[in-house]
Amino acid sequence: MIVITGAAGFIGSVMAGELNNKGRNDLVLVDDFSKREKERNFINLKYDALVARNDFFTWFKDNHVDVDFVVHLGARTDTTEFDWNVFQELNVDYTKTIFSLCADYQIPMVYASSAATYGDGELGYDDSHEVVERLQPLNPYGRSKNEVDKWILKQEKQPPFWAGLKFFNVYGPNEYHKGRMASVIFHSFNQINATGKVKLFRSHRPDFADGQQLRDFIYVKDIASVIYFMICQQVNKSTSQRVKSGLYNLGTGKARSFYDLAANTFRAMGKDVDIEFIDIPEDIRDKYQYFTEANMMKLREAGYDKEFTSLEDGVMDYVKNHLMLLL
């Protein structure tokens, strides 16, 4: 069996769907399944069991002999949440417990870290272990992910394989429930549909023009592809090359502007580009990243050789084959 935590959420549900597509239906989905707005993400998935988030550790202790791999994607991901206790419980302590159990039972795992650990990017975006202790995330969410990374790197007892995946700006289907934290593409689509225009943040720095803030946008289907690659490396015992345990960036390696993202959304909808610029809210202005770009060398050297989806192709697929179907 393969365990997926956060399976009713954005990335977790896409990951479960990818495994179903590959013929793996022996899944155990872990989440808080009481939230009705997430039902559409898992209602059509094939799985062996649904396990409530608060019951998972007991379930794991009773059933670990049947588990082949753990994909830990469950977390509080709201970058505007500033109550550290929330992140301590759901992100830090929960992940530490899963890691420790996987080490005890010798079960391979991946978990979601984040590019938010890099803070303002002063130290770059290299997934080297040497830089982790010096990173200064800009918000409690990023700090929670970095605290986990730091702790795991210090553990003597480890699973046979683990990978902390530093997700950059992920977009794609099944993020419908995320509200303010959904991708700019999702919000752009809804704004265009309602008003015919898109509002983007203007720049509050002289070295960036309005709308030219840069992010490494990665399509969620590429995230699922990379995780599936890592699962196969561990579960398929005949594979000669194995990915080494460690932290891995997961972006495309190519930063693109928010203007490009919005413009491609207009094009996918068959509409003329009409963009309005607004101030960045003051509560996040001093924590706003103006540039992120993943150094993808480590993952490439580990053997992942598939091309990442271009922004143009990803937006087109997301809009045409998912968002338009919601209208």
* Residue 131: strand, helix, or coil: helix
Q: Output the pLDDT for position 240.
A: 56
Q: Output the pLDDT for position 283.
A: 82
Q: Output the pLDDT for position 231.
A: 96
Asked whether the predicted pLDDT for residue 225 surpasses 80, the reply is: yes
141 catalytic? Reply is yes
What average pLDDT score do residues 134-159 get? 97
Determine which one of 47, 118, 141, 259 is catalytic: 141
Tell me if 297 sits within 8 A of 304, measured CB to CB: no
**What tens digit of pLDDT does each residue of 158-176 get?**
999 999 999 999 999 999 9
Burial of 237 (0-12, 13-18, 19+ CB in 10 A): exposed
Of residues 72, 19, 73, 85, the one with CA closest to residue 46: 19
Tell me if 164 sits within 8 A of 114, measured CB to CB: no
Tell me if 317 sits within 8 A of 264, measured CB to CB: no
Q: Are strands 109-114 and 27-31 parallel, antiparallel or unpaired?
A: unpaired
Q: How far is the C-alpha of 253 from the C-alpha of 271, rounded, in Å?
A: 29
**What tens digit of pLDDT does each residue of 52-92 get?**
999 999 999 999 999 999 999 999 988 878 899 999 999 99
H or E element, residue 201? strand 198-201
Q: Output the pLDDT for position 305.
A: 94
Burial annotation 5-32 (CB, 10 A radius, 16+ → b, else e)? bbbbbbbbbbbbbbbeeeebeebbbbbe
What is the helix, strand, coil percentage profile of the chain, to 5? Answer: 45, 15, 40
150 catalytic? Reply is no
Determine which one of 150, 178, 197, 199 is catalytic: 178
Q: Give this prediction's pTM.
A: 0.95
**What tens digit of pLDDT does each residue of 246-303 get?**
999 999 999 999 999 999 999 999 999 999 999 999 888 887 889 999 999 999 999 9
Q: How far is the C-alpha of 290 from the C-alpha of 220, rounded, in Å?
A: 22
Tell me if 198 sits within 8 A of 266, measured CB to CB: yes
**What tens digit of pLDDT does each residue of 3-36 get?**
999 999 999 999 999 999 999 999 999 999 998 8
Percent of the chain with pLDDT over 90: 87
